[in-house]
Amino acid sequence: MPLPKAVLISLSLVPVVVPAVYLAVVQVLVSRQIATSGTTKRVLTKKDKLLAQTSTATAENAAPPKSIPEHLLDDAAPYVVTCERVVSRPIPASALTDPILFDAAASDKQKTSYVLTSYLRGTMSAFAWTPQGLIMKSVVSDAAVRRTFSLNYIRGLTFVASDLACGAYQVTYRAGAEGNAALSRDRVELSIVPLADRPDLVVHGVIVTEIERTPTEVVFVNETWMWRHATDEKPTMIEGAVGRWLHSLVGGWMILKGTKKVTAPTRVKAE
């Protein structure tokens, strides 16, 4: 028996409505975890080298990553640079569950550094299962690079210089935790490198992840820096309204997944 017209119309809308509902739910969940989010387009100059990264930084005054190419900072550089900055709401330190936090022999710097590593394992493991991550994996045939999408592989990374996650994100800078018991920070920069087998897929960018930890709370910051030639290349994804919204949503969702990783109850193996 033929389906009623109303049913056919409803079924035809499923591919549109379901993703829309899913995105709406994700946005609600993300909004509970994110304190601020902003994107700005700017032309970098050598003055940017003098900027200091602070807990009150915004997309407008965030210091450029250490991994950003030097030629982008020339006063006459014909490049457009866009920065997206997403900051988590403060997480109570009492909610963190990493075992090292309860190790009396561990220093505050070691604890901060380990929490950031655990957080990155959570965010990159989540990214590996996003549509973008799955598509990236599908175009790579190199077995060693495909392995970098594996959850077991990502969970074993310490995110130090040269570590590669999800095929295209390579650690090019890690500051190492600094500070004291009152306030400690750590920072990791992952440069976007061409996928193996697909050197034609070039994206200019650096992902910055930072933690700021005090005795009472922890804040995570995710920055995406992308650049292009002002006249010879098309606008980057985060320059357009729709692309910016989607990318910011994914960035917030990854913060959500990362914070769940560092606040998840640890499992004790049975003897």
pLDDT winner (highest mean) among 115-124, 132-141, 225-234, 252-261: 115-124
State what percent of residues in the chain have pLDDT above 90: 21
**Residue 126 vs residue 35, higher pLDDT:** 126
Question: How many angstroms from the chain centroid is the CA of residue 218?
Answer: 17
**Mean pLDDT across the stretch 239-260?**
80
Distance CA 10, CA 7 (A): 5
Q: Token pair for residue 13?
A: 């809308």
- In terms of pLDDT, which residue wins out, 91 or 154? 154
| Nearest C-alpha neighbor of 171 from the set 179, 183, 182, 162 | 162
Q: Is pLDDT larger for residue 116 or for residue 240?
A: 116
- Which tokens is 65 given? 């990553």
DSSP string, 111-141: HHHHHHHHHHHHHHHHHHTSHHHHHHHHT--
Q: Could you tell me the pLDDT band of residue 15, with boundaries at 50, 70 and 90?
A: very low
Comparing 26-35, 57-66, 105-114, 258-267, the range with the smallest average pLDDT is 26-35
- pLDDT: which is higher, 253 or 204: 204
- DSSP letter (8 states) at residue 198: B
Q: How many CB atoms lie within 10 A of CB 25?
A: 10
Query: How is residue 103 annotated by DSSP?
Result: -
Please state the rounded mean pLDDT for residues 142-171: 94
Q: Which residue has the higher pLDDT, 37 or 10?
A: 37
Q: What residue spans define the domains of the chain?
A: 33-263
Return the higher-pLDDT residue of 194 and 247.
194
Residue 72 has pLDDT above 60, yes or no: yes
| Mean predicted confidence (pLDDT) in 233-241 | 81
From 135, 132, 196, select the one nearest 164 (Cα to Cα): 196
C-alpha to C-alpha distance for 235 and 54, rounded to whole angstroms: 29
